[in-house]
Structure 1
């Protein structure tokens, strides 16, 4: 990418069928550590988190959504916003609900190249991109639902499709199919866990509905009356106090050799094998998050797990620092 493009910043306001969808564009060439410092300073957070070492985090600074124009009566009420950015040398669009990253739509290298050619006047509306179109359609539908008085977040569910993909649904309506072009913004690289995590994030952010613990499997044999496929069986449960750790460790090596990403969904545990998935539920508010063990700790007495800042944010633990939790060990 040429220097002119790397320093180019622009924003675009996309309007479809009378509903405005906000697109913020930001491209930066700084190193990842400097980028994260800048993002933390402006309080925006991560667009695309890193859960595994071979998933490269984009060098992206988000400058937030642009303000709606004065003619739009609904833009200021929107909860879904979109951010166009480069990711692994390809175009990507991250959808946020109330400024929390939920899903990232993956485009192509050619689409990113087309955006590069625009120089300083970057306008995503001037390129053809399936990723942008899908993200716009999904954001538009979510904003419509948020303004629908009959909408209930507890009616959001996730199902397993015959082709092994997953779909997030509202009752029988498919809202989005999680195929190879759509990933959880802080992916765990486990399709089932990612699908459940994304659905639960939508349920919470769009109506504070309780989290799901299973995926609907319509293809289950008839002798299974529940029709539910658990992401992973719970092997054991424990209760205790959880804490979180972040800025002072961000970018350092964890005990399993990864670079610690404070905005990912990971945790430190004294004995669980690396890679173990654990559902952590804050017993004060009922919020839960699935994390992956990639570090050792906590080394303060009376605590059973040390969460990343990203995981702590999901379950409302950041401000309190510690909280009683239930751990459900899901295996690896």
Structure 2
């Protein structure tokens, strides 16, 4: 399934941050972030309701960044979303979660002393501030490498915003810090002002080229085989994982971890028909499937009737 699928029935605390003011709300988790780590869905827990605030008079309807704390593998984690799209996940500790569960104070009081919450709030504050600045240009969102500790820093106008270092990762992580950093940067560039994506991380050492886009048009850099499916009407017009609107008639596809913008040639092994698609979404999450095609792409290679089929995918440009 693509990442735009809603998970009903889960509950979470939603912490909206507007210009640095924390706002605590309880509500249904309509747009799940359960897919951000591959096995998270089986270990997501509702945070305690003790002291939860149910009404907020000072809520800023213009805030575009929200924070979503929840439990993962006995740890407190916080996912940052921009315009409902998951961008970053900050990973806390078991101790953080214990503080919340055992405290007699409200969550709003306790979270002020929790490092993972403060890290996430600082990033949300900066993003919300620049979103109100008419002079801000999202082309000034950049990424560079820190060679000493093998981390990556996302910057706003050459000032540090956040470091991708294993404790802060892409929400639907690729399990590669360089790839996480580049994808997170490009999502922010698009969602904060529709700037064009970057193709590489600045000043990346020659010994670590994993985040540099390689391959030329038509040149195959990798070949895989597996089952393909397709998705369409229920998702048409909704936001994909990279922040654009899904067009079921376009030639796009969802993949679990290939970088957004990667071109992939898909061949239906039942009939030999091929189509080249662009990766712009996440999925599929059904066992045994390697790619989820748009309705338009599925029609071209004769996948509409069967729903699934064995395919060969050739990656024409990818992360090394």
Same fold (TM over 0.5): yes
2:153 alignment partner in structure 1: 167
Among 272, 275, 293, the alignment partner of 1:303 is 275
Q: Which has the higher contact order (CA 8 A, sep 6+)?
A: 2
Residue among 295, 300, 314 paired with 1:321 = 295
Q: Does 1:50 align with 2:37?
A: yes
* Aligned position for 1:182: 168
Deviations 1:278-321 (A, max 9, x none): 545xxxxxxx3699x9x996868333459695369xxxxx9973
Number of the residue aligned with 2:21: 20
1:198 to 1:297, Cα distance in 2 relative to 1, 3 A: farther
Matches within 5 A, 1:167-246: 167-217=153-203, 231-238=211-218, 245=230
Distance 1:311 1:48, change over 3 A: closer
- What are the Cα deviations for residues 174-217 of structure 1, in whole angstroms up to 9, with x where unaligned? 11111232111110111111000000010011111111001011
Distance of 1:68 and 1:158 partners within structure 2:
38
- 1:49-68 aligned within 5 A: 49-51=36-38, 58-59=43-44
Structure 1 Cα separation of the partners of residues 217 and 46 of structure 2: 39
Q: Which residue number corresponds to residue 110 of structure 1?
A: 95
**CA contact 1:8–1:122 (8 Å) conserved in 2:** no
For the structure 1 residues 320 and 14, does the alpha-carbon distance in structure 2 shift closer, same or farther, using more than 3 Å as the test? closer
Gaps of 5+ in 2: 1-9, 48-52, 220-227, 233-239, 243-254, 285-291, 301-313
In 2, Cα distance between equivalents of 1:210 and 1:24: 34
1:78 to 57, 63, 88: 63
- Correspondence 1:138 to 2:123: yes
Unmatched tracts of structure 1, length 5 or more: 1-6, 27-37, 222-227, 248-262, 266-274, 281-287, 313-317
Which residue is 2:78 aligned to?
93
Query: Hey, what does 2:50 align to over in structure 1?
Result: none
* Structure 2 equivalent of residue 126 of structure 1: 110
Give the drift of 1:20: 2.4
For these two proteins, the number of residue pairs brought into alignment is: 254
CA 1:21–1:146 in 2, change beyond 3 Å: closer, same or farther? farther
Label 1:142 to 1:8 Cα distance change in 2 as closer, same or farther (>3 A).
Answer: closer
The 3 A distance-change label for structure 1 pair 132 and 290 is: farther
CA distance in structure 2 between the aligned counterparts of 1:11 and 1:122, rounded to whole angstroms:
14
In 2, distance between residues paired with 1:203 and 1:236? 24
CA distance in 1, matches of 2:183, 2:77: 20
Q: Superposition RMSD on alpha carbons, in Å?
A: 4.6
Give the superposition deviation at 1:330: 2.5
> Using the alignment, how far apart are the partners of 2:92 and 2:70 within structure 1?
10
